[in-house]
Amino acid sequence: MYFYELHESDDELFNDALLAHAEDFSEDEFFDLVMETRAKVLDSFEEDTLVVAVARELERSHDFVYIDNRHLRAAVNVSVVEEDNVLAEIDERDEEDDEDEGDDEDEVKGAMGGTAGPDDPFRTLVVRVDRPDLN
């Protein structure tokens, strides 16, 4: 099994996709395949990011395995602090769930008390970052 990675090149986004394939592609072969697939999905993708759209199309059309949460069986937070070593929750949604997203009356509640649905053009991620004093 050989592994390949896609990186989002938009400075505002951080999204990578890990792919696996039984065939060993050279770097140039993989690049050409990704560029061909990118051109195919660029004007019509419905996924949240281009990277995910390309990964899913490579999976559909070229027998890659897009390694996302559908394939995870366990996740562990590892830390030097003993009590922080715990099993992490895995989002077990699959593509079927993505298609049905928003059909529930219990939609995802936004950080500001709003409601996020499948037709909303924006996704929000709130992250708390402890920064050192810059002065």
Q: 60: domain CATH number?
A: 3.30.70.2710
**83 pLDDT higher than 70:** yes
Residue 98 lies in a domain: yes
Residue 106 has pLDDT above 80, yes or no: no
- For residue 56, report the phi and psi dihedrals to the nearest 5 degrees: -65, -35
Report the number of distinct structural domains present in the chain. Answer: 1
131 located within any domain: no
Q: Is residue 10 part of a domain?
A: yes
| In-domain check, residue 21 | yes
In a domain, 52, yes or no: yes
At residue 29, the pLDDT reads: 97
Residue 66 lies in a domain: yes
Q: pTM score, two decimals?
A: 0.61
**DSSP element (H, E) containing 53:** helix 50-62
* pLDDT tens string 28-44: 999 999 999 999 999 99
Examine the pLDDT at 19 and tell me if it is beyond 70. yes
- Structural domain of 96: 1-105
- Tell whether 113 is covered by a domain: no
Q: Is 70 exceeded by the pLDDT of residue 119?
A: no
pLDDT averaged over the chain? 78
Please determine, for residue 108, whether its predicted confidence score (pLDDT) is greater than 50.
Answer: no
- Would you tell me how many other CB atoms lie within 10 Å of the CB of residue 51? 22
CA distances from 25 to 8, 31, 45, 56, 64 (A): 21, 9, 25, 18, 11
In the predicted structure, residue 21 carries a pLDDT above the cut 90: yes
34 and 6 Cβ atoms separated by less than 8 Å: yes
